Structure 1
Amino acid sequence: MSRLIENGSLPQGDTFSVSADQDFGDRLGAFFRYAHADDTFRDFRKRIAAGLIVKRPLGFEYDRAGFGAWHGTPTDQSLRTETGVEIYYRAQVSPFLQITPDIQIVFDPANSTRSSEVILGLRLRIEL
């Protein structure tokens, strides 16, 4: 739990979050995330996520593939509650470079009038 102390630009705010990862043998893992914040601090008042991770999905030692799902309640009560799923593949290209393409499908997006949105992403991680 953390508390943001009121200052000249922000009011006091409280947040609580839990993040857990668990391996199941040499090839599988799972994760769980939960966060709760009052309405002065974050875009989502409540957010929960869970998923599965496959290690070495194509035989490459440090590659990972995963599937996750989430549900979020916005702090702005005029917005819709959203739910989504994500599939990704993280390729360890070199000891210091990872590339992660992913696809997300958001159902009832909070900030859209559409029934769903598809998001294609590409993350690049460089460790120095």
Structure 2
Amino acid sequence: MERSVLIFDGDCGFCTTAVEFARRRMRIDAEIVPWQFTDLAALGTTRRRAEHEVLWITPDGRVRGGAQAVAVLLIAAGLPWAPLGVIMRIPPFRWIAHGVYRLIANNRHVLPGGTPACSLPASRRP
């Protein structure tokens, strides 16, 4: 791998909207792909993990998930986003970021752009 990869849930309207926002507003030197169209094993991760959280995979194979994936994305985007990403990596803000991420991820089906399908495991989605 030459560039980092951001993996997200392409079936989730909320996730897709968030990724499109990042593409439009941030300078991200990474490949951004839905997990549904990715060889997860080749990237060193699993379908179960990709269904559970957004993933950031570095060219050297480090996998970060959830709030820490978002933090690294923000850092990689440069100013004005990077300071927020740095803060999200420092305790106690790291713990707060994790809690907020889980709250959003667990309720994405009721957020703008979300659909009832977002609350289902990928194997049960229409």
TM class, shorter-length: under 0.3
Structure with max Cα Rg: 1
**Higher RCO (C-alpha 8 Å, min separation 6):** 2
Q: Which has the higher helix share?
A: 2
TM (normalized to structure 1)?
0.23
Q: TM-score, normalised by structure 2?
A: 0.23
